[in-house]
Amino acid sequence: MTSLAIDNIGLLVTNDPTLGEGPLGIVRDTALVFEDDRVAAMGRPGPDTDRRFDAAGRCVIPGFVDSHTHLVFAGDRAEEFAARMAGQPYEAGGIRVTTEATRSAGTEELRELTAQRRMEAQRGGITHIEIKSGYGLDVPGERRLCEIAAEFTDDVTFLGAHVVPREYEGRADDYVDLVCGEMLASCAPLARWIDVFCEEGTFDADQSRAVLSAGRDAGLGLRVHGNQLGLGPGVRLAVEMDAASVDHCTYLDDTDIEALAAGHTVATYLPATEFSTRQPYPDTRRVIDAGVGVAIATNTNPGSSNTTSMSFCIALAVREMGMSVDEALLAATLGGARALRRDDVGCLAPGARADAIVLDAPSYLHLVYRAGVPLVGATFAAGREVWTSNPIPS
Enumerate binding residues for ligand NIG (CB under 6 A).
70, 94-95, 98, 197, 225, 228, 273, 299, 301-304
Q: Which residue, 62 or 302, has its beta carbon nearer to ligand NIG?
A: 302
CA nearest neighbour of 101 among 124, 80, 125, 122: 80
Q: How far is the CB of 304 from ligand NIG (least distance, A)?
A: 4
Which distant-in-sequence residues (6+ apart) come within 8 Å of 230 by Cβ? 199, 200, 251
What span, in angstroms and rounded, lies between the C-alpha atoms of 238 and 19?
34
Residue nearest to ligand NIG as judged by C-beta position: 303
Q: Which amino acid is at 302?
A: P
Q: Which residue, 143 or 223, has its beta carbon nearer to ligand NIG?
A: 223
Q: Which residue, 192 or 225, has its beta carbon nearer to ligand NIG?
A: 225
What span, in angstroms and rounded, lies between the C-alpha atoms of 102 and 109?
10
Task: Give the Cβ contact number of residue 96 at 10 Å.
Answer: 16
Q: How far is the CB of 62 from ligand NIG (least distance, A)?
A: 24
Distances (CA, A) of 249 to 78, 228, 230: 25, 6, 9
Q: Which residue, 124 or 234, has its beta carbon nearer to ligand NIG?
A: 234
Task: Give the Cβ contact number of residue 22 at 10 Å.
Answer: 9
* DSSP SS3 for 269: strand
Q: Which residue, 232 or 377, has its beta carbon nearer to ligand NIG?
A: 232
Q: Which residue, 284 or 301, has its beta carbon nearer to ligand NIG?
A: 301
Q: How far is the CB of 97 from ligand NIG (least distance, A)?
A: 8
* DSSP SS3 for 82: helix
* DSSP SS3 for 67: coil
What span, in angstroms and rounded, lies between the C-alpha atoms of 12 and 10?
7
Q: Which residue, 14 or 102, has its beta carbon nearer to ligand NIG?
A: 102
Q: How far is the CB of 146 from ligand NIG (least distance, A)?
A: 16
- Angle at alpha carbon of residue 282, lines to 281 and 283, rounded to 5°: 120
Q: How far is the CB of 273 from ligand NIG (least distance, A)?
A: 5
Q: How far is the CB of 303 from ligand NIG (least distance, A)?
A: 2
Q: How far is the CB of 270 from ligand NIG (least distance, A)?
A: 7
What span, in angstroms and rounded, lies between the C-alpha atoms of 77 and 278?
15
Q: Which residue, 80 or 256, has its beta carbon nearer to ligand NIG?
A: 80
Distances (CA, A) of 266 to 74, 131, 261, 290, 340: 30, 18, 10, 12, 9
What span, in angstroms and rounded, lies between the C-alpha atoms of 355 and 115?
19
Q: How far is the CB of 94 from ligand NIG (least distance, A)?
A: 5
Task: Give the Cβ contact number of residue 313 at 10 Å.
Answer: 28
Q: Which residue, 247 or 327, has its beta carbon nearer to ligand NIG?
A: 247
Q: How far is the CB of 187 from ligand NIG (least distance, A)?
A: 17
* DSSP SS3 for 4: strand
